[in-house]
Amino acid sequence: MTTSERPPAVKKPAAPKSPAARKTADKLGRQDWSSWPHYDAAASGFRGYWYPVTWSSHITGDPKPFTLCGEKITLIRDSGTVYALHNRCPHRGVPLSEGNQQFPGTVSCPYHGWTFDLPTGNLSAVITDGPGCRLTGKLGVRTYAVEERIGMVWVYIPVADEEPHPIDEQLPEELVSNAFVMGGRIEPRGGNWRFACENGFDEGHAKYLHRTALWRLLKPMPTWNITRIVPQGRWIYRVQDEVHWEADFPGVGRWSNKRWWKKQPPKETFNLGNTGKTDAVDPVIEAQEFPGFASLSMPGVLRIAYPKFIHYEFYVPVDADNHRYVGVMVNFTQGWDTLRFYAKYLGAVRWLFHGQFSGQDAWMVDVTDAPPEKLYRPDVSLTSWRNLSEEEYGKKLAAAGVTEATTQEEA
């Protein structure tokens, strides 16, 4: 068993500190994440959620391997339906994804031909032991619930043995009942999924890290903001109360991201998009009445609302050291306008936004090393997210009737 497959342990909250110890801790910053024990334990992801794994079009009758929340799974399509099985043959541990289909509705291990029924995972035949094999029907591999939504295959990773909740309860609400076109990227990235998620909602970084991104070549980014976090439904929102485009730093100098070739920043504070206000807002986006342009929900879904489109990021846990970045841009349009969207997406957005801009995030996520950490004012975005996940996950475990989640590597 590798470290990443170890069942996540739930730590007890730390004992109260003495005033002297607290003073030292204040100076040094936060030494660990013991204030958020569920979050701290979720290095390989929160269980009890649906996760997007890959594009639907990638899953065919040829089984493919994936790691999700530390669990090895294989995805295979049969008669149009996608199935997810634990990717380990119980005989000698060979990945079933190395095998193929010998009979309809099954997958066979490449080594000795143990053959598993796709809907149930049951061992339905053992080719090299003949039709009378006594193991047939007596064992099997674990299966996982699968859904296909927004062009992707989603797999549910259970807390215990519970039935999954409907996936629509977990998708961003506006994607459930509106028509849209989309473009996106799914790519494996280094770094823990929590660093990726925190980076996505991090209030302080975009205006500084991304100031050099080509995506922002013609639009300035603010220097600093005053931001609040507002909970609404199952989301938390970053709401901008003040946007400062330049600042004088005493004894150091003036700093601004404004340049003569960039658009002039707007005078008023705005809460849709991060570079300014637009008159015409897409009616579907307007109808959502988002309190702020950046929002986050469990189990790590970021939504950035712009006047004409919404960008989503799903931070999918692979194991403690790797995650899968799923970046999707959605435009609530139909008919001829979809052509304009695809031209814009394929010609620019895919390379500038989901490519180079997002690559700056990937770089930071890969090199982040915390805790310890000394948080600063804008990091209220991070602590609010941790508080949200702590609370939501506590409720989820209680609902599942367990005190801690365990990995379910064997069926």
Binding residues vs ligand FES (CB under 6 A): 89, 91-92, 94, 109, 111-114
Helix, coil or strand: residue 292: coil
Which does residue 117 touch among ligand FES, Fe ion, none (CB within 5 to 8 A, set by kind)? none
Pairing mode, strands 294-297 and 301-305: antiparallel
Pick between residue 77 and residue 324 the one whose CB is nearest to Fe ion.
324
Which does residue 226 touch among Fe ion, ligand FES, none (CB within 5 to 8 A, set by kind)? none
Which does residue 277 touch among ligand FES, Fe ion, none (CB within 5 to 8 A, set by kind)? none
Q: Does 361 bind Fe ion (CB under 5 A)?
A: yes
Q: Which stretch binds Fe ion (CB under 5 A): 141-149, 181-189, 200-208, 262-270?
A: 200-208
Neighbours of 40 (CB within 10 A): 19
Which does residue 156 touch among Fe ion, ligand FES, none (CB within 5 to 8 A, set by kind)? none
Pick between residue 92 and residue 374 the one whose CB is nearest to ligand FES.
92
CB of 77 to ligand FES, least distance (A): 21
- Residue 159 sits at the vertex; the CA angle it makes with 157 and 162, to the nearest 5 degrees, is 90
Which does residue 219 touch among Fe ion, ligand FES, none (CB within 5 to 8 A, set by kind)? none
CB of 193 to Fe ion, least distance (A): 15
Dihedral sign (CA 56, 62, 66, 68): positive
CB of 340 to Fe ion, least distance (A): 26
Separation in Å, CA 376 to CA 29, 177, 355: 10, 39, 29
Please, which of residues 206-235 interact with Fe ion by CB under 5 A? Answer: 206
Question: CA 238, CA 1: separation in Å to the nearest integer?
Answer: 40
Which does residue 363 touch among ligand FES, Fe ion, none (CB within 5 to 8 A, set by kind)? none
Which does residue 94 touch among ligand FES, Fe ion, none (CB within 5 to 8 A, set by kind)? ligand FES
Which does residue 361 touch among Fe ion, ligand FES, none (CB within 5 to 8 A, set by kind)? Fe ion
Dihedral sign (CA 56, 62, 63, 64): negative
CB of 134 to ligand FES, least distance (A): 15
Spatial contact of 239 and 230, defined as CB atoms under 8 Å apart: yes
Spatial contact of 109 and 99, defined as CB atoms under 8 Å apart: yes
Pick between residue 141 and residue 181 the one whose CB is nearest to ligand FES.
141
CB of 224 to ligand FES, least distance (A): 58
Which residues make Cβ contacts (< 8 Å) with residue 139, sequence separation at least 6? 90, 122, 123, 411
CB of 364 to ligand FES, least distance (A): 41
Neighbours of 112 (CB within 10 A): 15
Pick between residue 112 and residue 344 the one whose CB is nearest to ligand FES.
112
Helix, coil or strand: residue 35: coil
Q: Does 198 bind Fe ion (CB under 5 A)?
A: no
Which residues make Cβ contacts (< 8 Å) with residue 72, sequence separation at least 6? 65, 66, 86, 87, 88, 95, 409
Pick between residue 92 and residue 267 the one whose CB is nearest to ligand FES.
92
Which does residue 312 touch among Fe ion, ligand FES, none (CB within 5 to 8 A, set by kind)? none
Spatial contact of 76 and 63, defined as CB atoms under 8 Å apart: yes
Dihedral sign (CA 57, 358, 240, 204): positive
Spatial contact of 138 and 75, defined as CB atoms under 8 Å apart: no
Please list the alpha-helical segments (H only) found in 258-297.
283-288
Q: What is the DSSP letter of 399?
A: H
Pick between residue 106 and residue 274 the one whose CB is nearest to ligand FES.
106
CB of 76 to ligand FES, least distance (A): 15
Pick between residue 130 and residue 233 the one whose CB is nearest to ligand FES.
130
Pick between residue 112 and residue 211 the one whose CB is nearest to ligand FES.
112
Pick between residue 127 and residue 362 the one whose CB is nearest to ligand FES.
127
Q: Contact residues for Fe ion (CB under 5 A)? A: 206, 361
